Amino acid sequence: MGHGPAVKLGKDNAAAYKGKIGISMFIVYTLTYFGFVVINAVNPGLMEKVYFGQTLAVLYGFFLIIFALVLAVIYNHFCTAAEARLN
Amino acid sequence: MIYTQSPLAIGLFFVFVFFVLGLSFYLARRTSSADGYYAAGGNIHWFTNGIAFAGDYLSAASFLGICGMIATAGYDGWMYSIGYLAGWMVALFLVAEPMKRLGKYTFTDALDSKFNSKSIQLMAAISTLAVSVFYLIPQMVGAGVLVQPLLGMPHWVGVCIVGVVVTIIVATAGMASTTYVQFFKGALLLICSTIVVISVLTRGLGTDPNQGDTKEYHKFQTLNAVVTNGNLQVAGYDVVAGLDSEFGQAGFVKLSQGGAETVWHLKEAATGYELVEALFVTKMADGTKLFNGAPKEEGKFFAVGHIKEITVDGKEIAQTGAVGPLEFLNRFKDSTVVLWGKKYVKVGDTTTTIYYQKPTPGSRILRPGLKFKVDNASGLDKFNFISLMIALFCGTAALPHILIRYYTVPSQAAARKSTIVAIAAIGFFYVLTLYLGLGAMTNGVINITDNNMSAPLLALSFGVILFSVISSLAFATVLGTVSGLIVASAGAVAHDLMDNFLGMNMSDKGKVRAGKISAMVIGAIAIYLGIIFEGMNVSFLVGWAFAVAASANLPAILMILFWKKATAQGVAASIFIGLTSSLGLILVSPDMWVRYGLLPQDAPVAFNSPAAISIPASILTLVIVSLMTQKKGAMVEEGAEA
């Protein structure tokens, strides 16, 4: 049928561990993202309030972008360590 | 015309196009196998693939659409950036490695890896085609938009150029050339956008957007009018359409001076009215369009985008001078910026679209609510907003042309690392979009009838070289993304449908030939759709593609990975319901009603974004059908191994 990877992949003993931390981090980021969506939908006026010279909307937006990168780097660190330990 | 062509821009454009074509022909010599054609042999380095991801993802929607939307609607446009980026977390944490582990050429391979089910092969292939075609529309529209200022050619020519060039690219070298085109384009787009943003910050904010003393900005006038015996009177002007006319009832008047007609926004004043100059486009019964009462070529229609007041420490100033990134936003927040509203006035068979000034506090622009109705909004308005944000979040990890990029790298770790590189590059670019959009909003460069060109025209305000490079890059952006989409679509037709579903048992060369022929057919369809959707904001259109992808594909992907009871019948039914419900709701939405030439309020449904209904419907279908077919269906034995 032609299924299966285009290149041969070895068995990944760290897959289950990586899946678990992936789901945990996904939940953390999803809650942060939907917190942003809910504030915008329910109390958009709050987003105009100014903290540290910027509107909350701008601060929250920057936070979501930076937080994504930080979580991604942490995730990769744990995954790489697990691959070295278990494979 | 708001812009004129430059030989440099035209020259650079052709350099880019020939470079891309040359690369394709070079790589084509190394691409004879199906592995090479559909997955670039699976040996692309993770960093190259990560930047190519960014190249794929930072399509016309991001560069043209988001910047244009921020330029006209402020923060609401940037919410697309945030939603698009957040979607990458779904891809990284849940999808990247399992997709790499399970698939070969297409995302259908991954979905079908446990079942070998004809129904999954058929539904997933149709879904891939539908999502890719939906995503192709805004790219082609973006191409048409770009060609007008670059080459001075009409919209349809741009669409045709992209269609033909991309079809040649894809028909020659497939995924290998697409990957390297995307890598170069993604990297250059990041570098050039950074240069434009630094230029914006160096110029700072000012109340006279004269583009560094190089171009005079139109001085919008304000007149005083009095009402005598119920008639409006304005010194020096004849009143063509007064208070009792259709214009007057909409809050405008039409005046004439020396044979030239102008439209003004009525504002009540202590004695009579204050009239504020507006822009208008008249569409006659025969389809002819006049811009501020004259053909487009006469150049009577102005670029817009200016600040009314800048306040620093309680004092009004005219110029801030060079500012840092945070100070730029701080000063912008304390300014009053002129945004533009839009109203339609219909008199007989003639429709006039009026663009009128709306001075708005910067702090109001830097929070949501100018495009999305969230203030004092009805439940339906809030639903529409939340539904769009769900679609953006869930759509990325379900886009076939993104998912196939996981097959071009050699390992699961490489798939993960390339996703992280993509998140860094895309996140950085989306920060830049805020400055590009706000820069366009305040530098007098916006073509208010089509905001898609705001970022390239902002670059033009810093010189024709930057404009030429940025526009050519934007065109390459479209080329690259369309290439990826057509590879994904060709894979769906040739690999999923012809080879797997119909069991045609093609040779390796036959698969590649079938893919190339499919690419040509899909390219022709994309050209047609790109022409008929002219004028719509490209990011808005991509929002729909995300909704369809998130509804049709994501529930199936996630449930196969994480729910052991998923069956082949459940997965196929879920894709079918997700696809048909999202497409169906889009086709009867208010925005599509406008496309049909009908009034949006007459549309059968009152919202534009279907994801909040179609995604749960797709999940529910998968669960119910899977539970009903437990004995007959093949269960996922290792479903939760990820």
Q: What is the ipTM metric for this complex?
A: 0.90
Summarised one tens digit per residue, pLDDT across range B619-628 is 999 999 999 9
Considering the domain boundaries, does residue A3 fall inside one?
A: no
Q: What are the residue ranges of helices labelled H in B335-410?
A: 362-365, 379-395, 400-403
Containing structural domain, residue A74: 15-86
- State which H helix or E strand residue B233 sits in: strand B231-233
Considering the domain boundaries, does residue A70 fall inside one?
A: yes
Structure tokens at B389: 């944000």
B257 pLDDT above the threshold of 50: yes
Would you say B209 and B444 are in contact if contact means Cβ atoms under 8 Å apart?
yes
* Model confidence band, residue A9 (pLDDT cutoffs 50, 70, 90): low
Residue B38 pLDDT: 62
Residue B1 pLDDT: 45
| Contact residues, chain A, for B75 at CB < 8 Å | 57-58, 61
Token match 């025969």: residue?
B286
* B382 contacts A41? CB cut-off 8 A: yes
Degrees, nearest 5: CA angle B279-B284-B288? 90
Containing structural domain, residue B511: 7-11+47-204+381-628
B215: how many CB neighbours lie within 10 A of its CB? 14
Query: What is the C-alpha to C-alpha distance for residues B630 and B557, in angstroms, rounded to an integer?
Result: 19
Query: What is the C-alpha to C-alpha distance for residues B13 and B10, in angstroms, rounded to an integer?
Result: 5
Considering the domain boundaries, does residue B268 fall inside one?
A: no
Summarised one tens digit per residue, pLDDT across range B227-255 is 888 788 888 899 998 888 999 999 999 99
Mean pLDDT of the B602-610 span: 87
* Residue B133 neighbours by CB under 8 Å, 6+ apart: B489, B522, B525, B526, B529
Residue B641 pLDDT: 41
Facing A6 at nearest CB: one of B75, B88, B407: B407
Considering the domain boundaries, does residue A79 fall inside one?
A: yes
Considering the domain boundaries, does residue A64 fall inside one?
A: yes
What is the percent of chain B where pLDDT is above 90? Answer: 30
* Model confidence band, residue B574 (pLDDT cutoffs 50, 70, 90): very high
As a whole number, the mean pLDDT across chain B is: 84
Domain with residue B82: its CATH number is: 1.20.1730.10
* B329 contacts A65? CB cut-off 8 A: no
Disruptive mutation site among B81, B92, B118 for chain A (greatest number of A CBs within 10 Å): B92
Query: What is the C-alpha to C-alpha distance for residues B475 and B40, in angstroms, rounded to an integer?
Result: 23
B639 pLDDT above the threshold of 50: no
Token match 């808005």: residue?
B540
Considering the domain boundaries, does residue A20 fall inside one?
A: yes
What is the percent of chain B where pLDDT is above 70? Answer: 91
Considering the domain boundaries, does residue B277 fall inside one?
A: no
Considering the domain boundaries, does residue A37 fall inside one?
A: yes
Side chain identity at B619, as an amino acid letter?
Answer: I
Considering the domain boundaries, does residue A25 fall inside one?
A: yes
* A48 contacts B367? CB cut-off 8 A: yes
Query: What is the C-alpha to C-alpha distance for residues B370 and B161, in angstroms, rounded to an integer?
Result: 35
Q: Which residue has the higher pLDDT, B160 or B440?
A: B440
Summarised one tens digit per residue, pLDDT across range A20-79 is 999 999 999 999 999 999 999 999 889 999 999 899 999 999 999 999 999 999 999 999
Phi, psi dihedral angles at B538 (to 5 degrees): -70, -30
Facing A58 at nearest CB: one of B103, B366, B416: B366
Summarised one tens digit per residue, pLDDT across range B343-379 is 999 888 888 999 999 999 999 999 998 888 888 888 8
Disruptive mutation site among A9, A11, A36, A40 for chain B (greatest number of B CBs within 10 Å): A40
What are the residues facing B273 on neighbouring strands?
A: B225, B268
Query: What is the C-alpha to C-alpha distance for residues B110 and B639, in angstroms, rounded to an integer?
Result: 12
**Nearest residue of chain A to residue B104 (CA atoms):** A5
* Residue B165 neighbours by CB under 8 Å, 6+ apart: B17, B20, B21, B479
**Nearest residue of chain B to residue A28 (CA atoms):** B89
Structure tokens at B26: 């070079």
* Residue B7 neighbours by CB under 8 Å, 6+ apart: none
Mean pLDDT of the B528-545 span: 76
Total domains, chain A? 1
Which one-letter DSSP state was computed for residue B499? I
Considering the domain boundaries, does residue B460 fall inside one?
A: yes
Mean pLDDT of the B34-40 span: 63
Mean pLDDT of the B84-102 span: 87
Residue B640 pLDDT: 40
* Model confidence band, residue B435 (pLDDT cutoffs 50, 70, 90): very high
Residue B30 pLDDT: 62
B307 pLDDT above the threshold of 80: yes
Q: Biggest alpha carbon distance in chain A?
A: 59
Considering the domain boundaries, does residue B359 fall inside one?
A: no
Q: What is the DSSP string of B94-158?
A: IIHHHHHHH-SSSHHHHHHTTT--HHHHHHHHHHHHHHHHHHHHHHHHHHHHHHHHHHS--HHHH
Considering the domain boundaries, does residue B16 fall inside one?
A: no
Pairing of the two strands A54-55 and A50-51: antiparallel
Nearest to B457 by CA among B67, B58, B100: B67
Q: What are the residue ranges of helices labelled H in B445-567?
A: 454-460, 464-491, 508-532, 538-552, 554-562
Considering the domain boundaries, does residue B212 fall inside one?
A: no
Considering the domain boundaries, does residue A51 fall inside one?
A: yes
Query: What is the C-alpha to C-alpha distance for residues B18 and B11, in angstroms, rounded to an integer?
Result: 11
Total domains, chain B? 1
Task: Give A76 to chain B, closest Cα distance, Å.
Answer: 7
Query: What is the C-alpha to C-alpha distance for residues B74 and B25, in angstroms, rounded to an integer?
Result: 42
B389 touches chain A (CB under 8 A): yes
Query: What is the C-alpha to C-alpha distance for residues B331 and B45, in angstroms, rounded to an integer?
Result: 43
